[in-house]
Structure 1
């Protein structure tokens, strides 16, 4: 009679590691709260942080803290500032989470959501509405078509990269590059067809902006972003197994093709939701997950939530800079993230090559 060996026990995580994870997530959570309070109060009409907190507490029935003393302070907070910082936090979290998923499924820290054509497809959808003056759903037509365009582009990349029921990472990347080239040509053609005003609107949309964010828009983005992040957390353990390689992951029971499809769908939803109302915001999905990985390591159980919090902090801070760097001007937030993210990522690249001799 053959003896049945007991299943090996799962290694226990040391208290020190747990404390480090809790400390990182707690620190990022505190940083996000501070950024939200400062971001809501800072602008052409400055509201002290104590009054920002007081306005929130009074709204939920707690009679703590002072209310804004300026006659327009409370209306400015609730109608302009709060929805704007909420949109910044949601978009930043969605883009950074999408970047972490892309880097995990591709096994490359240089991967980002634009690889599968989401951003370029969204740009074509938005530009089509602007040039042809469409209005299917009123003022939300640009956002709706941008969202649909991003999803359609991602679906095309996935379908065109399949071969014999399987999708290889290299084929997926090359297909994404080809589709991005086609959508760039389509975008250039649309700009050629449009008049001067349409061209200006397309360029401004491509640069990204949170100006004009409203609670109705936050209500649309929030369930998509939070739902996508929740699914990403569920997929995190399998992404750790995928890092062993496709063959090893299959041996331990991971359906690699289904996992890859699921990740691409989540990335498409997260990115399309972020860019639909905000335009294209570069470098968040590339820099934030890589920076978190340097601090927290490659494990996706920590990388995904830390990237979401880090992306939210980054975009809230970038938005504050965008609307206060130049007096009475609202700079494109995509320009800010690229201006800071480009040199910073170059520094990360040089640092990685010096310390490890290349990318891990």
Structure 2
């Protein structure tokens, strides 16, 4: 059998449905030979452009409206940039992996109910303890509870539902959708019976905010993000093989069930880190992942993961600059991202319908 790393070399080539492994290889090699140089030039141009865009957006955000008060503004903004980068990369990497596993580019990990579980936990704390007590809980403890609960729920879901083959994977997605709907129903019930003043204070917690980030949480999140990224990049060749489909991946020597389970746990960990740090941002992953696919036009995950991460940082930094200096915090960053991402999502649906 061809080992996964060797098999990953054919991931960029078009594959005829029903072709054998030998035919896949025969189709792949000429395609890569003929398209290799233009593709490499395109990728260089893409990453140079993304690097310039990232540098420009960071410079804009860090210097806009400082008016000489660098000693106060710069350290605070650098902390916000670090939080934006951690959240953006975590969401981007988890979304690219999840879309590869599900073979669907309009799905995101939020469909598994992680965002709904976070909202349910925050609502339950305010509903039972009151907003004053809930806000006095140590942020590090809350971060650990949120991340641990989401990881625990994901692990139970994967062990209970994920069986052999693609059917198990799609059954797991369906169970996640049902669980998210159930969590949302419980949350809506508590919203209706909650004191209006408590509800107003709760709403401030449920929208993603980068204005007051605990530096200790940033350090922990950075370590967890680094572990997740290490797993993602080390398993990038296996992700390349998974783009060929389950049957071909198994034929090429991939341990499908173990690989999918490990990648899903990495996705759950990354989503837990980003959500527990600042709250849910629904459409960011969908937006940056699909933009990365369109820019790179390759199936190599090392490339797509990097491009999606850079795009996520740029989107969040520009969105935060718009929120702070144009809208003067009359809104939330998640609402800006969700409006843009929602429009893009509708455009993707219309494109799929025409196709």
TM-score class, shorter-chain normalisation, is 0.7 to 0.9
Matches within 5 A, 1:110-259: 110-131=106-127, 132=129, 133-134=133-134, 138-163=138-163, 168-192=168-192, 194-259=194-259
What does 1:1-360 align with in structure 2 at a 5 Å threshold?
14-42=36-64, 46-47=65-66, 70=68, 72-78=69-75, 80-131=76-127, 132=129, 133-134=133-134, 138-163=138-163, 168-192=168-192, 194-297=194-297, 298-327=299-328, 329=329, 331-351=331-351, 353-354=353-354, 357=355
Which stretch of the first structure deviates more once superposed, 245-254 or 180-189? 180-189
CA distance in 2, matches of 1:90, 1:219: 10
Deviates further, 285-294 or 204-213: 204-213
What whole-Å deviation, never above 9, does each CA across 1:177-227 have from its counterpart, x for those lacking one? 111122112323443564334322333333221121243232122122232
Normalising by structure 2, we get a TM-score of: 0.81
In 1, the alpha carbon distance for the partners of 2:217 and 2:348 equals 35
- Is the 2:150–2:272 contact (alpha carbons within 8 Å) kept by the matching residues of 1? yes
What is the aligned residue count? 321
Distance apart, 1:148 and its partner CA: 2.2
Q: Note the residue ranges of structure 1 that are not aligned, 5 or more in a row.
A: 1-6, 48-68
Alpha-carbon distance change, 150 to 311 in structure 1, aligned in 2, over 3 angstroms: same
CA-CA distance at 1:134 after TM superposition: 4.9
Whole-Å separation in 2 of the counterparts to 1:94 and 1:15: 31
SS at match of 2:235: helix
- Kindly indicate whether structure 1 or structure 2 has the higher relative contact order, using CA contacts under 8 Å at least 6 residues apart: 2
Which string of whole-angstrom CA distances, capped at 9 and with x for unpartnered residues, describes residues 227-283 of structure 1? 212321222221121122212111111111111111111111111111112111120
Residue by residue over 1:122-160, the C-alpha shift from the partner in whole angstroms, topping out at 9 and shown as x without a partner, is 222333333323589623343332222321332233133
Assess if the C-alpha contact under 8 Å between 1:208 and 1:280 holds in 2.
yes
Q: Conserved in 1, the CA contact under 8 Å of 2:165 and 2:246? A: no
Check conservation: 2:150, 2:268, Cα contact below 8 A: yes
Whole-Å separation in 1 of the counterparts to 2:169 and 2:139: 38
- For structure 2, list consecutive stretches of 5 or more residues without a partner in the other structure: 1-5, 10-28
1:335 Cα deviation after fit: 0.6
Distance in 1 between residues matched to 2:249 and 2:165, nearest whole Å:
18
Determine if contact 1:96/1:288 at 8 Å carries over to the other structure: yes
Residue 168 of structure 1 aligns to a residue whose secondary structure is helix
- Structure 1 position 293, deviation (Å): 0.8
The 1:336/1:247 distance shift into structure 2, 3 A limit, reads same
Q: Which deviates more, 169-178 or 329-338?
A: 329-338
2:321 aligns to what SS in structure 1?
helix
**Distance between the aligned counterparts of 1:173 and 1:192, measured in 2?**
29
CA pair 137-207 structure 1, distance change in 2 beyond 3 A: closer
The answer to which structure has the higher helix fraction is 2
Segment of structure 1 superposing worse, 148-157 or 170-179: 148-157
